[in-house]
Amino acid sequence: MPHELAALREALQGHALQDRQGVALRGETSRYSYHDLWAQVEQRRALLEAHQGQVFALVMENSPEAVLWDLAALFAGLPCVTLPPFFTHAQRLHCFDQSQVDIAVADAAMAPGMREAGFYQEGAFWRRKANGDVRIPAGTAKITYTSGTTGTPKGVCLSAAALLRVTQELANASRSAAPEKYLAVLPLAVLLENLGIYAALWVGASVTVPSQKSMGIDGATGVDWARLLASVAMSGAHSLILVPQLLQGLVTALERKLLTVHQFRFVAVGGGRVSLDLLERAAKVNLPVYQGYGLSECASVVCLNQPEHNRLGSVGKPLPHVTVRLGEDGEVLVKGSALLGYLGDEPYQQTWLATGDIGEFDADGYLYLKGRKKHQFITSFGRNVNPDWVEAELTQRGTIAQAFVHGEGLNRNLALLWPLDPTASDETLAGTVAQANAQLPDYAQVHAWKRLPEPFSPANGLLTSNGRLRREAILSRYRDTLSELVSE
């Protein structure tokens, strides 16, 4: 057992001995003391070991049950796949097949999809026979799928040691703020939230894990703000992790005095670009916000601002478990806590991981991000989207000749469209957008669009000679048009 995993085990056992009655984990209808939590984890670990699965999947809404099974798989040494609830059914099938999951725990609502994927129920588990070989690197504890830049996201294989090194650093970063109550807002399948829960349990905090539905969160982008804010207030949370869009809602609520700031001690934000304006607004209402940066391939968090070292606009300094430097072109390179490999690929053996992000350090070692090397953008909800994927869905239906999709740092995805037939009506274009959206998960769908006044071409500088979009030129030319779409 890696010493990091042994340390987590020792911490949980210690809390169980010291605090038999205090609430460790609570949901909408259940609560567990640390004594109960440890007993329940051990019980589930024994079940997993007795059923001898090869790869375990957790297909559940946020709940204490999901946390207990996740911890059980971790201590059983069983590779665990956690699937975001906002994945489409087709994406879930891809993940099951790619990882060759043969044992799973799933919510009752997922039963039809589990049967369609070839699973049958056996006691507490869903089982199926793996139908092929899959190359999973030795020592894999977690197979995490990001929100998917395309329709078939890759599985990132991570060791328990890498996951728990980050967990320890998250716990250390918030230690001076002494948060005693933690609220899980993001899906457990989001690695950052997964580790946030581990960190809170490691230090003996009380963790509240309501379902996404009960908090008013629907899919990847839908939010019922009244319900979410009520959940935050009722939880009494001192600490939580947010993506930029959720931070904006919280700051707005504080500005309107719908909530008081006094309960909050440490609010981490990551998963996407955070505007300096939003961070300054948070500071004005005295919300203790700490922006960070990471990626699944590095077991999540790489840099993080902290109470003692916080610089607005930066993503903080590198945490002690990693080394960060910049390439000749400014690309952020990271050494430490790297993935074991992508599912089905050869083991990852590089010393420095190229993140695809462009950054710069200030004189005091704070990292500032400047953008992406490639086309992929990250929405304000922290979802990764490759515009090529969405543009292909739009242009392969016989109606739209050219499409440009943009959503970097936004809460909705925007598109500029040119039809195959210049006389096509807006209603025809709208129908095609609706058809494309039906094939996309909600975080990748087009939420607003505009017809172009002319097609992209080499002559107007918006297309390369071999037909590729000049994205920066298009953004510059149509900045006002896109801004209007944002505000509609």
In a structure prediction context, what are the per-residue pLDDT tens digits for the chain, which is 488 residues long? 889 999 999 999 999 998 767 899 999 999 999 999 999 999 999 999 999 899 999 999 999 999 999 999 999 999 999 988 778 888 899 899 999 999 999 999 999 999 999 999 999 999 998 776 778 999 999 999 875 545 567 899 999 999 999 999 999 999 999 999 999 999 999 999 999 999 999 999 999 999 999 999 987 667 899 999 999 999 999 999 999 889 989 999 999 999 999 999 999 999 877 878 889 999 999 999 999 999 999 999 999 999 999 999 999 999 999 999 999 989 999 999 999 999 988 999 999 999 998 899 999 999 999 877 777 888 999 988 888 889 888 987 888 989 999 999 999 999 999 998 999 999 999 999 999 999 899 999 999 999 999 999 888 989 876 677 899 999 999 999 999 998 77
Q: Give the type of residue at 257.
A: K
Give the residue among 208, 150, 153 at the shortest CA–CA distance from 180. 208
Position of tokens 């097609």? Answer: 455
Cα(215)–Cα(5) distance, integer angstroms: 31
| pLDDT (0 to 100) of residue 448 | 96
Predicted confidence at residue 147, as pLDDT, reads 57
- Which pLDDT value is given to residue 271? 83
Q: Which residues contact 482 (CB under 8 A, 6 or more apart)?
A: 406, 414, 416, 475
pLDDT at 87: 81
Task: Spell out the residues 6+ positions from residue 480 whose beta carbon is closer than 8 angstroms to its own.
Answer: none
- What is the model's pLDDT at position 412? 92
The whole-angstrom separation of Cα 167 and Cα 361 is 24
**DSSP character for 458?**
T
329 φ/ψ sector (left φ>0, alpha ψ -120 to 50, else beta): alpha
**Domains in the chain: ranges and CATH:** 3-372 (3.40.50.12780), 386-487 (3.30.300.30)
Burial label, 273 (beta-carbon count in 10 A; 0-12, 13-18, 19+): buried
